[in-house]
Chain A
Amino acid sequence: MAGKIEDESNDRVPLRLRPEWSDVTPIPQNNGPNPVVPINYSEEFSEVMDYFRAVYFANELSSRALSLTAEAISLNAGNYTVWHFRRSLLESLKVDLHVEREFVERVASGNSKNYQIWHHRRWVAEKLGLEARNSELEFTKKILSIDAKHYHAWSHRQWVLQTLGGWEDELNYCSELLAEDIFNNSAWNQRYFVITRSPFLGGIKAMRESEVLYTIEAIISYPENESSWRYLRGLYKDEATLYVNDTQVSSVCLKILRTKSNYLFALSTLLDLICLGYQPNEDFRDAIEALRTSDNEEQDSDIARTICSILEQVDPIRVNYWVWRKSRLPQAA
């Protein structure tokens, strides 16, 4: 406790004791006659917000107001009213937005999982225009180097690419991240974003062949990786016939099934293929037969049913789902 008081006296002089604020009358929070679910505010919080209310209500467009918004943001970075007022101040005081970018970076270093910070960052980048492209890509890269699945950072990055450009290196960047962690689903999603939306790559049709090869290699290395299987399916989005007929897909399923380990996704993918019309040959029947355990002895009438039965055994968390999938299979002729 003593330490806390010492810290406060070192760090912060209350606004009411600062000469530059002596002319301002703070506006206390009006909680109304009967407040419920009250918050236990600290003195500092109450004071800063009381002064904030005063400058906001007076629409005081001053540099002291700008520094007050920084104090208020440090106490509640989600306060969109404060951020909005700060933007009015930045505009009317004609503040160099490069400096503002550094401010955002400092706030983000404390807590980057906050929508308002990113909304503000986007506003600054929009104002700066094309020249902001590289700094924004670098900024998100920095955040992603700490947390490679940071949702806000990815969202900002996608916005930068779509608005300011910078697509040229993005596929390489995805490959780098996936080389670091092939289970990074955010990087797989970004990869999909790039191959479907980059103006330089010709779209999914042009990219499919090379992407299928890349993905199959990833699947073979880690067949338990949900992300790569979903990406493979995504490469054939709205192209069910192509998906069913591309032997690369069925082959990788067979290859994994034959290893008899980590084959859940291979099995469910094969089931989906069959439901879409794929006709498995003897090789598949043998591989599936080899996975049957003594527990499921009753003979299923067709391979799809057998797959469901195996999944019921090896994926017990979702046993009811596989039973349901089985119940919806067309009756064998």
Chain B
Amino acid sequence: MSSSEEASSMETTTIDKDLHVTFAQMMYHLLPNPYESQEINHLTLAYFVISSLDILNSLHLVEKEAVANWVLSFQVQRGTTNDPNNGQFYGFHGSKTSQFPPDENGVFHHNNSHLASTYCALAILKIVGYDLSSLDSESMSSSMKNLQQPDGSFMPIHIGGETDLRFVYCAAAICFMLDNWNGMDKEKVKDYILNCQSYDGGFGLVPGAESHGGATYCAIASLRLMGYVEDNVLSSCNLSSLIDLPLLLDWILQRQGTDGGFQGRPNKSTDTCYAFWIGGVLRILGGCNFVDNKALRGFLLSCQYKYGGFSKFPGDFPDLYHSYYGFAAFSLLEESGLKSLCSELGITNMAANGV
């Protein structure tokens, strides 16, 4: 960003909720042109927008039924003549780019169901209060098994793609929200996650990769959703765990920099989004108070844009992704006026509990 003066943050000590609502509402009505390059992840963009409005306690601005119908229009139904063992996954398309009607026999030839889009679809549906039990969860789950690899990881789409902890997380969150775990071999998933814990205690996206805040969130949130890590484990007397918990804790706490923000990897810059990726892990483990929340708040405020939203770094222009994780981080900080977050699921507690 060149014109940092223009983008300079507000000299303020509070989060300006109304401005953020306006920002999210603007995005809800029309995503600006630069977002077309992310069209394939349209449902993910929609998740950021709608979950933002939910966190900001402004769900009344969302036409819930229209949103639910729109999300459901991305679902790929298994046609009556489709072979159930054809290796495909029947979830949700990410966007309209490659969505085609079935042929005259009801067969879909272009199934691009994607795990991340399916996760976002279910998350949005839960936020707008759609009853997920009306979905054919068995078809979704049993076909999801086709995406699991021999090493336990998941590829995101049946036509092939990179396999890493991001899609392990999506798969776990989908199973959790559908309350149906037939879609995965949990033991294998667990082993894969454990293989991703690095020598320094954090988790890399794949075994052998450098520890990373986002990957660590995917690992811990998945283990929590699968029931392998108990809630608030740090408050219990016995710290024995599947993972090397003391090493993880030491690594994760070092992610807070002297400017108060969180970084994703050692010796890298602090960045708004890690306030959620790292903060979310701390919330699951029960270690939120082990960091300097006041300093974190100060860092986030320096990334707050004067017309709403959050930027990646102080003084930059905001974007949807960093704004969403800025709101999520403030929710973890228990900012008044914001709804509380179910950090392992990435939606508010009210949405998660179906209130």
Chain A contact residues, CB within 8 Å of chain B: 29-32, 34-42, 45, 49, 52-53, 56-57, 75-82, 84, 115, 118-119, 122-123, 149, 151, 154-155, 158, 183-186, 189-190, 192-193, 197, 225-227, 230-231, 233-234, 237, 268, 272, 316-321, 324
Contacts and interface: CB of A to CB of B under 8 A. Distances in A.
A8 to B, nearest CB: 14
A75 B37 contact: yes
Nearest to B98: A81
B274 to A, nearest CB: 14
Task: Give me the 10 closest cross-chain CB pairs, A-B, nearest first.
Answer: A234-B199, A321-B290, A189-B210, A81-B98, A230-B200, A37-B46, A79-B40, A185-B266, A183-B267, A317-B292
Contacts of A80: 40, 112, 114, 156-157, 159, 161
B210 A151 contact: yes
B161 A119 contact: yes
Instruction: Specify the main secondary structure of chain B where it touches its partner.
Output: loop
Nearest to B49: A37
A30 B95 CA distance: 10
B135 interface: no
B69 interface: yes
A320 B39 contact: no
Given A80-B161, A149-B268, A190-B210, 4 more contacts: A36-B46, A78-B38, A81-B98, A197-B208
B39 A39 contact: yes
Contact of B209 (A57, A158, A184, A230): A158
Interface of B: 27-33, 35-42, 45-46, 49-50, 63, 66-67, 69-70, 73, 96-100, 110, 112, 114, 156-157, 159-162, 198-201, 204-206, 208-212, 234, 247, 249-251, 253-254, 256, 258, 260, 265-268, 287, 289-292, 295
B30 A38 contact: yes
A27 B162 CA distance: 29
Contacts, number: 177
A227 B201 CA distance: 12
A317 B30 contact: no
B177 to A, nearest CB: 20
B215 to A, nearest CB: 9
A127 to B, nearest CB: 13
Nearest to A162: B208
Given A36-B63, A38-B30, A40-B33, A320 B290 contact: yes
Contacts of B38: 76, 78
B118 to A, nearest CB: 14
Contacts of B114: 80
B265 A79 contact: no
Contact of B267 (A82, A154, A227): A227
B166 to A, nearest CB: 9
Contacts of B46: 36-37
B97 A39 contact: no
Given A45-B36, A192-B199, A37 B99 contact: no
B199 A230 contact: yes
Contacts of B161: 80, 115, 119
A115 B164 CA distance: 11
Contacts of B267: 183-185, 225-227
Contacts of B250: 268, 272
A76 B98 CA distance: 13
B323 to A, nearest CB: 14
Contacts of B160: 84, 119, 123
Nearest to A37: B46
B161 to A, nearest CB: 6
Contacts of B67: 36
A120 to B, nearest CB: 10
Contacts of B247: 233
Nearest to B93: A81
Contacts of B100: 53, 57
A78 B49 contact: no
B70 A317 contact: no
A197 B63 CA distance: 54
A119 B166 CA distance: 15
Given A39-B39, A185-B210, A189-B198, A226 B97 contact: no
23 contacts: A29-B97, A32-B73, A34-B69, A37-B50, A40-B31, A41-B36, A49-B39, A76-B40, A78-B37, A78-B41, A79-B97, A80-B159, A118-B162, A149-B265, A185-B210, A189-B204, A189-B210, A230-B251, A237-B199, A317-B292, A318-B256, A318-B291, A321-B287
A192 B46 CA distance: 40
A56 B110 contact: yes
Nearest to A268: B250
Contact of A234 (B70, B200, B254, B295): B200
A196 to B, nearest CB: 8
A321 B250 CA distance: 9
B45 A37 contact: yes
Given A29-B96, A76-B40, A321-B253, A35 B70 contact: yes
A231 B200 CA distance: 7
Contacts of A316: 292
A92 B81 CA distance: 28
Contacts of A193: 208
A81 B40 contact: yes
Nearest to B100: A57
Given A79-B39, A226-B266, A318 B292 contact: yes
B98 A31 contact: no
Given A35-B70, A154-B209, A158-B208, A185 B63 contact: no
